[in-house]
Chains A and B, each alone.
Chain A
Amino acid sequence: MNLGFIFREGFSGFSRAKYPFVVSVVTIAISLTLIGVSIVMGDNVFSYFRNLQADFDVQLFYNPNATRDQQAAALEFCNTYPGVVYTRYISKHEAIAVFQEEFGENIFEILQDNPFPPSVRIGFDRYHQNTGYISGFTASLEQLPGVETVTFHKALFLKLTSILRILTMVGGIFLLVLFIAAVLLSSNTIKLIILARFDWIETMRLIGASDFTIRAPFLVEGAFQGFLGAVLAMGAIHGIEESVIKLTSLNLASRLIQFPEVILILLGTGIILGILGSYRAVRRFIYLVV
């Protein structure tokens, strides 16, 4: 086996069959752009619902007669509870401001007194955001001295959770279908390359090249096409994101081309897509043409 030969043949595919090579790269680029844009859209919708869900966090209201020690103990309980990512203490005074912000009224103009007890808002990380776990937490919290009540909008939380689950599932299936379609498309364009290199395959077989030596350059070529397709797709996704922001003044919470790991994942997906497409094409088709 001569790896140098395999890589040389793979990388020289462009010069030996330019048109099918370009078609294949563009096919992969379009597929990856579709996948990337779908991820951006999906992630933004997902973030919206997750933020909405975070608004319905758990809220602890202290008994008006709770001592400072009781308040501190309850707060400590929350802070050390597994899965709690933040706690925000809202004093009686701050509660007035929150009321005014949410309802636009000054409570003193209505009641002449401050009826709000001090409270704590508690948020959970995504791995602990399930009703069973949070219900267990609220039940334990309500047992503590100085705690008047604990609110948790279970029904709304459940609805949002189910929306997120459906979004995840639909998004996942959609991406999988896109990926499979991309592999099939890429595979068909690789078949064009195989046809264009009919002479090479025939000669290689006659001089005693192994199946691996004949197939491997096409896999290398597929990986190279996938890499180029991913680079083109990143440019296209970046352009689309910029255009959406410019045209709609939307503030995209999540943008794809900003993290190195996303760039690596896109490049990796492109390379895998190219290899899978080539593999599918060379597995049988190569022996149907010669």
Chain B
Amino acid sequence: MISFKDVSLRYDRGAGVKNINFQVQRGEFVYLIGPSGAGKSTLLRMLYMDIFPNTGYVEVDQFNSNTIKRRQIPKLRQKVGMIFQDYKLLNDRDVFQNVALPLVVMGASRRDIDRRVTKTLEEVGLTHRKHYFPGELSGGEQQRVSIARAIAKDPLVLLADEPTGNLDYGVAQEILNLLWRVNAKGTAVFMATHNIELIKNRPARTFRLSHGEFKGELLP
């Protein structure tokens, strides 16, 4: 489902990634670990085709970075859920509206939106907060809204870029548990983190990245 083949990318200002090769199957949970600046976010951005490799190619489902057309990128992103360290929620909308946004953009009916958002909020345990605005929620709750928004559209894969970076250890564990629950329902999860302590209790296939280079794979 996800494939990196001889992928290299060099930014104008330097750094980037070199000769990356790996594959991820449907329903897998994969960690991408490495220190800050290792190239984790670069790999994730290539997965949702925000940036493109200089050499090699990235494949996500039927989309290939070398052949994808600009107008097809939204279609790819509708199949890929994304969560970030800074949540990227819209502060002028309540929880329900934030979670509904991808479904609205995809043209789902109001009934379908109501049904799916309600179900997703139940899954992340935020039904009681659905009319709250992001500013009224804790960091952990905001990240759960962000996860709900990402999974409401039933994506093939959930990309998580340092999702626990702004959270204390206990809340980070809850978020990680939630991601595993999402994975248990069939969605592949690709999580970049530098917090090795956090993932020790939840082992999974792990890619190590350092200075833009693939440093090996750890199996659970």
The reply to whether A211 and B92 contact each other, CB–CB distance below 8 Å, is no
The reply to whether B75 and A208 contact each other, CB–CB distance below 8 Å, is yes
The reply to whether B107 and A2 contact each other, CB–CB distance below 8 Å, is yes
Task: Return the CB mask of B40-51 against A: 1 if under 8 Å, else 0.
Answer: 000000001000
Distance in angstroms between the alpha carbons of A204 and B89 in the assembled complex: 10
Interchain CB contact (< 8 A) of B107 among A1, A205, A206:
A1
The reply to whether B48 and A209 contact each other, CB–CB distance below 8 Å, is no
B30 to chain A, nearest CB (A): 20
Interchain CB contact (< 8 A) of B71 among A199, A203, A209, A211:
A211
Q: A1 to chain B: which residues have CB within 8 Å?
A: 107
Distance in angstroms between the alpha carbons of A96 and B91 in the assembled complex: 85
The reply to whether B105 and A199 contact each other, CB–CB distance below 8 Å, is no
The reply to whether A199 and B102 contact each other, CB–CB distance below 8 Å, is no
The reply to whether B90 and A208 contact each other, CB–CB distance below 8 Å, is no
The reply to whether B107 and A208 contact each other, CB–CB distance below 8 Å, is no
Q: A285 to chain B: which residues have CB within 8 Å?
A: none
Chain A 1-52 residues near chain B, CB threshold 8 A:
1-2, 5, 15-16
The reply to whether A207 and B92 contact each other, CB–CB distance below 8 Å, is no
Q: Given A206-B77, A208-B75, A208-B78, are A5 and B91 also a contact pair (CB < 8 Å)?
A: no
Q: B149 to chain A: which residues have CB within 8 Å?
A: 207
Chain A 201-251 residues near chain B, CB threshold 8 A:
202-211, 213
Q: A208 to chain B: which residues have CB within 8 Å?
A: 74-80, 102, 105-106, 153
The reply to whether A5 and B104 contact each other, CB–CB distance below 8 Å, is yes
Is B82 in the interface zone, CB < 8 Å from A? yes
Distance in angstroms between the alpha carbons of A141 and B71 in the assembled complex: 70
Q: A209 to chain B: which residues have CB within 8 Å?
A: 74, 105
Interchain CB contact (< 8 A) of A199 among B75, B82, B91, B153:
B91
Main DSSP-derived SS at the A contact region: helix
Which residue of the partner chain A has the closest CB to B48? A206
Report the interface size for chain A: residues with CB under 8 A from the other chain.
Answer: 18
Chain A 134-162 residues near chain B, CB threshold 8 A:
none
Q: A86 to chain B: which residues have CB within 8 Å?
A: none
Distance in angstroms between the alpha carbons of A213 and B82 in the assembled complex: 19
The reply to whether A199 and B106 contact each other, CB–CB distance below 8 Å, is no
Chain B 4-62 residues near chain A, CB threshold 8 A:
48
* Highest count of chain A CB atoms <10 Å: which of B79, B91, B106: B106
Distance in angstroms between the alpha carbons of A206 and B153 in the assembled complex: 13
Is B178 in the interface zone, CB < 8 Å from A? no
B51 to chain A, nearest CB (A): 13
Distance in angstroms between the alpha carbons of A199 and B89 in the assembled complex: 8
Between-chain CB contacts (< 8 Å), 23 pairs: A2-B107, A5-B105, A15-B92, A16-B92, A200-B90, A202-B88, A203-B89, A204-B105, A206-B48, A206-B77, A206-B82, A207-B77, A207-B82, A207-B149, A207-B153, A208-B75, A208-B77, A208-B102, A208-B106, A208-B153, A211-B70, A211-B74, A213-B105
4 additional contacts (CB under 8 A) given A5-B105, A207-B102, A207-B149: A207-B82, A208-B80, A208-B106, A213-B74
